[in-house]
Structure 1
């Protein structure tokens, strides 16, 4: 490991840029292995301008691509490890429903059967009898081991675990550039502060597109990366007509029909546990990067979601009592990027489905950055691997 050197910000084995779920997980895994780690966050961990804030993200096993189902199974062990270190649950079990004319519940059921994940494939009438607060139009897949992740709580738990292993958290530290310096890199903040690290992990979320050009990376590596599309998504909280009992919460759900994909989940503490969080996947506007977000709700989109709730979710009052925006950073295939050139690792768990994998992503990124393990080839665009399919879902 590197020995400390004198510079304005000190010297580290690894600098992790970004303290969202991916960055916090990587810092935890690196510090756990005994490395001297700096966590650089432009604001505060899990802040509201990133992708990891709030208390409600979906944890589920059902994927059209069995590769991801297997990764969820691997990630589950990491969540249990983190909950043990944290001393409290971070995933609330709710179960999940998958349905819709464009969602192929039978294919999902076949994948879960192959993976050994508990599930049921129900007819529309069977599902309607069990969940009368939904208006189903197709067969329904139910898998009870799904749930809701406390994203903000998970970030703070991982940062705390990293700091307990002697990592250093630096907040209000916006990275402006990363340049080679001696055997490592010099990181410079937007206000002129500097820090040395032998290796760097970039987990900047929606700020990644704007930062890539300021990283000392080979041009061939940069050209191999996919186009990162940043969207400002909108989510709406609709009140329950009848408050569910704590022991039988509303399930999470994924519904695809009419060219629209909608997801929903119990809203959590950030919406007072009063209703269901409902959003359209990739329904928001495209941004150059996170710096362009304005936090505004599109009235036409709000009405679109009100109409959706009126048609498909009779158990909710179709009048949102809370609404918010968040960032999705997408790749064309919806695959993640965990790739490395020289001493810089780029980590982007993209396309709105990365939260559930956080502990595993940190482990994979730490393996790649330290050279002690491998990363699936489809996550390394510089390897030239072609993804198996065009969509993970």
Structure 2
């Protein structure tokens, strides 16, 4: 068995560490801060799990990922997935075409008219036909990271926090990770799961120029997220949704622990949280996670409030909490799992990787160990797809 350094203890790094340790490998996780910290992309309790992709490859991947979530829940003894069902609507998203992909893959679903959907979910005002798939839900990102790291440690892994990696260099037949303050760790192979910090690190990994030139551009986005209180329909009645509205793509889901719902006037009703709503890639680009400011864009807030007023009558259109988060995008929105020699770069990102976390850990572990290459869309030498998966 080999020895591995995993850089980053978010969903991707934690999943990889779990799978590697489970396979009997020696694993050291180096996390610049703390696992699932609020400066990265794996904090909080609420991420959407959905099957609704235009690309059959990702739908099949979601089917396999759901099985991986069940496996992780059994192994950890924790509830990490909350079923809610999921809605896709908006003419730009072409619900009927997505339904055809579901037919092809074998995902349970129902295609409804806007009127039929509104009768079932009066908290929405639909502007198109609606694709409903009951298998959708919400995954708890932060608890998942903790569960996977605990399982990794049970398998012998070591997790080091407060350990920002500055560079990776050759060390004999293996590699040495060097921290910003000069500390070092050595292993035979390295997996880079640095998320939004990847742009700062990519040029300091000793990777060949040809690999770096073929690597897709990485764009980090500081996104804005808002929580709105329920009016009459409580949390348990809200499915997750993806809406390809005329001018933007909006997603929403029950917010879980991400923001506590206050008691008070204006029709606030039960539930432990409000609905979490954001525009997909509606924020502003930043060079890397190190440039995150946490500042909310007031124009963006105004845009989302107007959206809630128009399409979500089941919410009070006044956000009671707001925050920022990070998306780390590739131009095609595909993930990257590829490398050279003993270094594997794993960046399952573009704002839709969380749902695949326990499956991606296996894919990355197999790619890093040489057991099996990652699927072609994740390798940087693969031909670029003609459309984004979203």
TM-score using structure 2 length:
0.96
- Per-residue CA deviation, residues 311-331 of structure 1 (Å, 9 max, x unaligned), is 000000000001111100000
**Aligned 8 A contact 1:330 1:350 in 2:** yes
| 1:257 paired to 2:256 | no
When structure 1 is superposed on structure 2, of 345-354 and 84-93 the one drifting more is 84-93
| 1:203 paired to 2:174 | no
Q: Which residue of 2 aligns with 1:96?
A: 86
* Misfit runs of 4+, over 3 Å: none
- Per-residue CA deviation, residues 140-184 of structure 1 (Å, 9 max, x unaligned), is 000011000000011111001100100000000000010011011
Q: Residue 122 of structure 2 aligns to a residue in which SS?
A: coil
Aligned with 2:26 (options 36, 43, 51): 36
Q: Which residue of 1 aligns with 2:388?
A: 391
Q: Which residue of 2 aligns with 1:10?
A: none
Within 1, Cα distance between the matches of 2:90 and 2:386? Answer: 21
- 1:245: Cα distance to partner? 6.3
Q: Which residue of 1 aligns with 2:97?
A: 107
Q: Which residue of 2 aligns with 1:61?
A: 51
| 1:308 paired to 2:307 | yes
Where in structure 2 are the equivalents of 1:37-186 lying within 5 Å? 37-186=27-176
**Aligned 8 A contact 1:243 1:274 in 2:** no
Q: Which residue of 1 aligns with 2:179?
A: 189
Gapped regions of structure 2 (runs ≥ 5): 261-271
Q: Residue 265 of structure 1 aligns to a residue in which SS?
A: strand
- 1:243: Cα distance to partner? 4.5
Within 1, Cα distance between the matches of 2:135 and 2:360? Answer: 21
Within 1, Cα distance between the matches of 2:384 and 2:254? Answer: 33
**Aligned 8 A contact 1:179 1:185 in 2:** yes
Within 2, Cα distance between the matches of 1:283 and 1:258? Answer: 14
Gapped regions of structure 1 (runs ≥ 5): 3-12
Q: Which residue of 2 aligns with 1:324?
A: 323
Aligned with 1:270 (options 258, 263, 287): 258
- Per-residue CA deviation, residues 265-292 of structure 1 (Å, 9 max, x unaligned), is 0000121232100000001110000000
Aligned with 1:241 (options 231, 235, 239): 231
Within 2, Cα distance between the matches of 1:53 and 1:242? Answer: 29
**CA RMSD between the two structures:** 1.0
- Per-residue CA deviation, residues 336-375 of structure 1 (Å, 9 max, x unaligned), is 0000101100000121110011111111111111111121
Within 2, Cα distance between the matches of 1:202 and 1:388? Answer: 24
TM-score using structure 1 length:
0.95
- 1:255: Cα distance to partner? 0.5
| 1:217 paired to 2:207 | yes
Q: Residue 227 of structure 1 aligns to a residue in which SS?
A: coil
- 1:210: Cα distance to partner? 0.8
Within 1, Cα distance between the matches of 2:288 and 2:258? Answer: 25
Where in structure 2 are the equivalents of 1:363-382 lying within 5 Å? 363-381=362-380
Within 1, Cα distance between the matches of 2:323 and 2:54? Answer: 29
**Aligned 8 A contact 1:332 1:390 in 2:** no
Q: Residue 217 of structure 2 aligns to a residue in which SS?
A: coil
- 1:388: Cα distance to partner? 3.0
- Per-residue CA deviation, residues 93-126 of structure 1 (Å, 9 max, x unaligned), is 0001100121100011011111111100000110
